[in-house]
Structure 1
């Protein structure tokens, strides 16, 4: 019996659950390998060859090569593991998050300091908008 997943109707959001974990297992293991300096050196020397050592899907490999972190998440990547790619590239988590939103690092930082994204347009599809009094 499939689990009820009411969180699947949050626009633009991929929840890292057991299904995503299974889908992204090898992608996330690749990311964790980047914790070792020698693996970072090997990856940067020939990214495709290093990725081909992992039983990831071609789509996952292409997402890594393109540094399309949003696509990596859709394909089972966990942001905490994917951060290892950013660190390998010399990027801060803030820079990575900004790139994932289409914003500059500064614009992303300013948005977060101001309280984050507005709730409008980011509610669950099944959630009613509160009525104004």
Structure 2
């Protein structure tokens, strides 16, 4: 089955970690995991661009890391659990990252989640949005 033929590919804003997506993000996710070690965090803090040279990131992945483009990191193969290590490095909460990806503030995102989350209306299908 072609990846584009899978039902979940029609869900807006959804990046499922299937085999292809895992392969796409392998080096990105390994970079993020490296931030578990204090000496790696220190090296990254000292010179982010030079530290990223240690990983086979695509130019798009590299740009997304340096710009902290959270949604782009996911789109480019990042696993939220790994990319969140970069957010932690920057001192950000999961609510902050969720807000950045949703176009709202950290506080608005937290309130939305406490209120039951984003409405599914209008968010069920890319095809339906095109109509």
Structure 2 length normalisation: TM-score?
0.91
Cα deviation digits, residues 89-124 of structure 1 (max 9, x gap): 111111111111111110000001111001111113
* 8 A contact 1:34–1:84 mirrored in 2: yes
- Could you say what the CA RMSD is over the residues aligned between the two structures, in angstroms? 1.4
Following superposition, the deviation at residue 32 of structure 1 comes to: 0.2
Please state whether the residue corresponding to 1:38 is helix, strand or coil. Answer: helix
More helix, by proportion: 2
Q: Which deviates the most, 94-103 or 56-65?
A: 94-103
Contact preservation (8 Å) 1:30, 1:54: yes
5+ unaligned residues in a row in structure 1: which ranges?
128-133
Match of residue 98 from structure 2: 97
Q: Which ranges in structure 2 are unaligned for 5 or more consecutive residues?
A: none
In our comparison, the structure showing a higher alpha carbon Rg is 1
Number of equivalences = 127
Q: Residue 66 of structure 2 aligns with which residue?
A: 65
* TM, length-normalised to structure 1: 0.89
Greater RCO structure (CA 8 Å; 6+ sep): 1
